[in-house]
Structure 1
Amino acid sequence: MENKVVLITGGSSGIGKSIGTFLSAKGCKVYGTARNPHNYPDFDAFELVQLDVKDTDSVQNAVKQVITKAGRLDVLINNAGVGITGPIEETPHEEILNVFDTNFHGPVHMMKAVLPQMRKQGGGTIINITSIAGYMGLPYRGFYSATKGALGLITEALRMEVKDFGVTVTNIAPGDFATNIAAGRYHAPVLDGSAYEDKYAQTINAINDDVDSAGDPIQVAKAVYKIIQQDKPKVHNPVGAFMQKFSLKLKSILPDKVYEKLLINHYKL
């Protein structure tokens, strides 16, 4: 594990910072990213490089900078992401585009940027941070579920395409963890008189309650560490509370309408 070079998008806070701090303590050379590293003058957990995952020039420059400094790139962790809530009918389209650009297109840009180097050096690991929400369409979080679900499917496809190059691709699907994603999440406004007004407001309260009782993101960091030590990690790696992970098992065995009824009951819809 010593001297393994790791690049983490969105490494300045939350899950990304926890992963980077944990891996640094294990002997990895970690580079995190932030759109504006100068906004973190006291950050000393590991080195931050400038990166906007929505900007392909920024992506290429950041990857080149890490390879120039370290001579190689062993692990990419696609962690940068944004949240979004709102009725599908009422969510502004520019916000839909933004969440897809950040949560889906951004990781794709990153994977395309690092693969030439990983092929050249004969191997590497790509870990996409998806979400348990990506395995199901959650009410009033449909666009977030869609971005994470799409990233999970790309993970499955790319994994098969690059296996002969010694590159491993997998995902970690966290449940709810205590991070600052809620502060940066886009909430479509609760509109007075909207057909969704009461149910949407009720669901936002339930989402916030889940975040308030969320777990420690160090669990995700430990899952990352376990994966990068494995030769053949699983495709899907859910991490979270028992009931959140159990919900995936239920979805795989229950009839669709029965599972839908469970979600309706959970959100009191």
Structure 2
Amino acid sequence: MSKVVLITGGSSGIGKSIGEFLHYKGFVVYGTSRNPSRISDSLFPLVQLDVRDNVSIEKAVAEIVQKSGTIDVLINNAGVGITGPVEEIPSEEIKNNFETNFFGPIEMMKAVLPHMRQQKTGLIINITSIAGYMGLPYRGIYSASKGALELVTEAMRMEVKDFGVKITNVAPGDFATNIAAGRYHAPVIKDSAYTVPYGNTLKMMDEHVDSGSNPNQMAEAIYSIIQNPNPKIHYKVGVFLQKFSIVLKRILPDKVYEKMLLNHYKL
């Protein structure tokens, strides 16, 4: 029988690319969207779900299990970007980012684990970010939320190993998607202490996304992981320099690495 895959945030960007790729490979794919009625071009069913709402999560998971009898693979893809000087980002926006990028995936895992434990098999793939391996200027909150998910995944892998359930992280670099459009941007405040450096860094970040890799690379990577009976703890998908930046952080003295980031962002 074809495996049943649930992808949060499957209506656009990386999630949509993954869903379409797996659909063509013969998987039974369900995506999610906060407003699925607005999406008319999806190749696979979209279920209403907001990862910030536990009732929404429980209802969506129950609906998919009722229709397909199981959930074999959960791909925690739903996430939002956030930029700005930490000092100037409203606290409610920081909390909202963690609700989506960190607490939401945890609640999704809580919802599917009883089904996976019962069937003694399952795979959970958490989409994190290469940014989660380092504190990036003006992306500190995003880095923190994705880095936190990386660490929780490491812990949960050990907790569920006896149930036949595998959990892994996939950290993408910059991909050409619409994430910048949905990202919360702290405004560039005139006469702020951060006006010039934040404004310049924000422009650079948007250019990186616009010139990013094809999201089909992520889809191919996810497919390969699903086919692997013993997936690794961490995967990185992106251009060489982005992946190599993680290696450099591991081997360089902290201040040397910080200087490298400051030079990169021209700060």
The TM tier, using the shorter chain, reads over 0.9
Cα distance in structure 1, aligned partners of 2:162 and 2:136: 36
Partner in structure 2 of residue 61 of structure 1 = 59
Cα distance in structure 2, aligned partners of 1:148 and 1:44: 27
Partner in structure 2 of residue 4 of structure 1 = 3
Partner in structure 1 of residue 68 of structure 2 = 70
Provide TM-score, normalisation by structure 1: 0.98
Letter in 2 for 1:55: D
Answer yes or no: is 1:44 the counterpart of 2:50: no
Partner in structure 1 of residue 31 of structure 2 = 32
Cα distance in structure 2, aligned partners of 1:243 and 1:177: 14
Cα distance in structure 2, aligned partners of 1:267 and 1:84: 17
> Cα distance, 1:208 vs. partner?
1.1
Letter in 2 for 1:210: H
> Cα distance, 1:155 vs. partner?
0.5
Partner of 2:79, secondary structure, is: coil
- Aligned pairs for 1:123-134 (under 5 A) are 123-134=121-132
Deviations 1:193-252 (A, max 9, x none): 111110000100110111121000011111110111111111110000110001011111
Partner in structure 2 of residue 99 of structure 1 = 97
> Cα distance, 1:44 vs. partner?
3.3
Letter in 2 for 1:262: M
Cα distance in structure 1, aligned partners of 2:36 and 2:215: 22
Moved runs in structure 1, 4+ residues, more than 6 A? none
Partner in structure 1 of residue 216 of structure 2 = 218
- Contact 2:177–2:210 (8 Å) recurs in 1: no
Question: What fraction of aligned residue pairs are identical, expressed as a percent?
Answer: 67
Partner in structure 2 of residue 13 of structure 1 = 12
- Contact 2:172–2:237 (8 Å) recurs in 1: yes
Cα distance in structure 1, aligned partners of 2:51 and 2:249: 32
Cα distance in structure 2, aligned partners of 1:75 and 1:43: 23
> Cα distance, 1:33 vs. partner?
0.2
> Cα distance, 1:43 vs. partner?
2.3
Partner of 1:120, secondary structure, is: helix
Partner in structure 2 of residue 258 of structure 1 = 256
Q: Any stretches of 5+ residues in structure 1 without a counterpart?
A: none
Cα distance in structure 2, aligned partners of 1:8 and 1:57: 18
Provide TM-score, normalisation by structure 2: 0.99
- Aligned pairs for 1:171-186 (under 5 A) are 171-186=169-184
Deviations 1:133-181 (A, max 9, x none): 0000000000000000000001100000001000000010000001110
Deviations 1:62-107 (A, max 9, x none): 0001100000110000000000000010100110011000000100
- Contact 2:11–2:42 (8 Å) recurs in 1: no
Partner of 1:89, secondary structure, is: helix
Partner in structure 1 of residue 242 of structure 2 = 244
- Contact 2:98–2:145 (8 Å) recurs in 1: yes
Partner of 2:2, secondary structure, is: coil
Partner in structure 1 of residue 154 of structure 2 = 156
